[in-house]
Amino acid sequence: MFVLRRTLCDGLSRGIRFHTGSVSAWSRVSSRDQGGFTVARGLETSTCLTHVRGYAQVRKEAIPSQLDDLPPSMLQKDYAGVPLTEGVNDIVKRLLSLEMASQSEKLKVKTQQLVEKVTRNPDDNTSPEVRIAVMTARIRNLQEHLRQHPKDKANKRRMMMTTDKRKKMLKNLRLTRFDAFENVCQQLGIEYTFPPLYYRRATHRWLAKKALCLKIMSIITQQPGTVPYGAMPMSSTGEWNSSLFDCCDDCGVCLFGLCFPSCLGCYVANKYGENCLLPCVPGGLTALRTHMRLSYGIRDTVCNDSLLMFFCGWCELCRMARELKRRSH
CB count in 10 Å sphere of residue 228: 12
Q: Where are the domains of the chain?
A: 2-51, 77-188, 247-328
**Would you state the pLDDT for residue 247?**
73
**Would you state the pLDDT for residue 270?**
81
High-pLDDT (> 90) share of the chain, %:
26
CA distance 290 to 316: 12
**Residue 228: pLDDT over 60:** no
Per-residue model confidence as pLDDT tens digits over 259-313: 877 788 888 888 788 877 878 887 888 888 888 888 777 888 888 888 888 778 7
**Would you state the pLDDT for residue 33?**
47
Q: What share of the chain is helix, strand, coil (3-state, %, to 5)?
A: 60, 0, 35
**Would you state the pLDDT for residue 165?**
95
Q: Average per-residue pLDDT in the chain?
A: 78
Report the Cα–Cα distance between both ends of the chain, in Å, rounded: 104
Per-residue model confidence as pLDDT tens digits over 238-249: 777 777 777 777
Q: How would DSSP label each residue in 34-61?
A: HTSSS-STT-GGG--EEEPP-PPPPPPP
* Three-state secondary-structure class, residue 17: strand
**Residue 146: pLDDT over 80:** yes
**Residue 231: pLDDT over 50:** no
Identify the band that residue 199 occupies on the pLDDT scale cut at 50, 70 and 90: confident
Identify the band that residue 237 occupies on the pLDDT scale cut at 50, 70 and 90: low
Average pLDDT score over residue span 197-214:
88
Average pLDDT score over residue span 60-76:
83
**Would you state the pLDDT for residue 298?**
84
**Residue 252: pLDDT over 50:** yes
**Residue 227: pLDDT over 60:** no
**Would you state the pLDDT for residue 267?**
81
Of residues 288 and 61, which shows the higher confidence score?
A: 288
